[in-house]
Amino acid sequence: MTIYDRLLALTGVIPPFVLLVFAERFERRVREPFVEWRYRILAAAGLASIPIAWLERGAALLIDGASEPLYTLFEAFIIAATIEESGKFGCLLLLTRGALAPRTRYGAFLYALHASMGFALVENVIAMLKTPDLVAFSTRWILRAYMTVPMHLVAGGVLGYLWARRKFDGGRIGLWGGLGVAILIHGTYDAALLAVERLPDAAETAQIACVAGAMAIPLLGVVALRMCAGHLRTRDWRDDVAAGARGRRMTSPGSVPAPP
């Protein structure tokens, strides 16, 4: 592999960063203790991809000789989804404790997005390094940019949304429940793609259904995340308005301080 090939593989970082910029532009004034901490979470998740890859290789040895469809389901939901999403979750859990915890709903959402994109960034570059020629590189780059990277974004975003709702609004599903939903999304996507490759040629209808499902998860998921992001931002804005109103009442002459 030439230096040119390696440099070309680095373009795999573009889709994750584009999606992060798109998410961050909705709220550039997140009141977090350290705004740049989000990028430390991104870096930690990227570094975690190395031990995650070794764990996946070790887990793959456990299913040697397994028959279908158990082999595909185990590979999709356990080797890929559970190990990868747990790694991102671990980075998020360890690096957002105490004073570093998110102070807004949208801040929690962004923390989770950065954890997911940190892993997707490294995974993208590694995938680009394994392409044999420019045609394969271009095909994989486009497919990952429009499907795999958004899938990681959706899985992380759902986790962040449920975490924010639990932390600030007392929602029923919190960080751990969000991890389960992220694993379900990731595993279903991987299972659909693997099924397309492994189903017999005679099962053409099933192959088409799997392709449609794999395409629908990231694309519809991004639309759903946009709605979730808007909901979190609206609730944060309402809290700002309420806090401002309380502050004005407390500072006005003769006013009675509002209850905490």
Stretch (H or E) spanning 30: none
Predicted confidence (pLDDT) per residue in 76-108, tens digit: 999 989 999 999 999 988 888 887 888 888 888
Q: What are phi and psi of 172, to 5 degrees?
A: -75, -35
pTM confidence score: 0.83
pLDDT confidence band for 6 (50 / 70 / 90): low
pLDDT at position 170 over 80: yes
CA Rg, the chain, in Å?
21
Among 97, 123, 92, 133, which Cα is nearest to 110's?
92
Query: Residue 59: CA atoms inside 13 Å, Cβ hemisphere, count?
Result: 18
pLDDT bin (cut points 50, 70, 90) of residue 259 is: very low
The string of pLDDT tens digits covering residues 210-237 is 888 888 988 898 889 888 888 888 888 8
With b for 16 or more beta-carbon neighbours within 10 A and e for fewer, the 168-194 pattern comes to beeeebbbeebbebbbebbbbbbbbbb
- The pair of structure tokens assigned to 41 is 């979470």
- Distance, in Å, from the CA atom of 165 to the CA atom of 176, rounded to the nearest integer, reads 13
According to DSSP, residue 82 is labeled I
Asked whether the predicted pLDDT for residue 163 surpasses 50, the reply is: yes
Please give the pLDDT value at position 161.
Answer: 94
What are the residues whose beta carbons fall under 8 Å from the beta carbon of 198, sequence distance 6 or more?
68, 72
CB neighbourhood size of 82 (10 A) = 21
| Distance of alpha carbon 76 from alpha carbon 190, whole angstroms | 5
Q: What is the rounded CA–CA span in Å between residue 43 and residue 38?
A: 9
φ, ψ (nearest 5 deg) of residue 34: -140, 105
- Whole-Å CA distances, 57 to 26, 54, 86: 38, 5, 16
In one-letter notation, the amino acid at residue 71 is Y
pLDDT tens digits, 176-220: 999 999 999 999 999 998 888 888 877 788 888 988 888 898 889
CA distance 126 to 130: 7
Query: Tokens representing 233?
Result: 């931002």
Give the per-residue pLDDT at 257. 44
Give the pLDDT of residue 256. Answer: 40
Instruction: Parse the chain into domains and list their residue ranges.
Output: 3-238
Q: How many residues belong to the chain?
A: 260
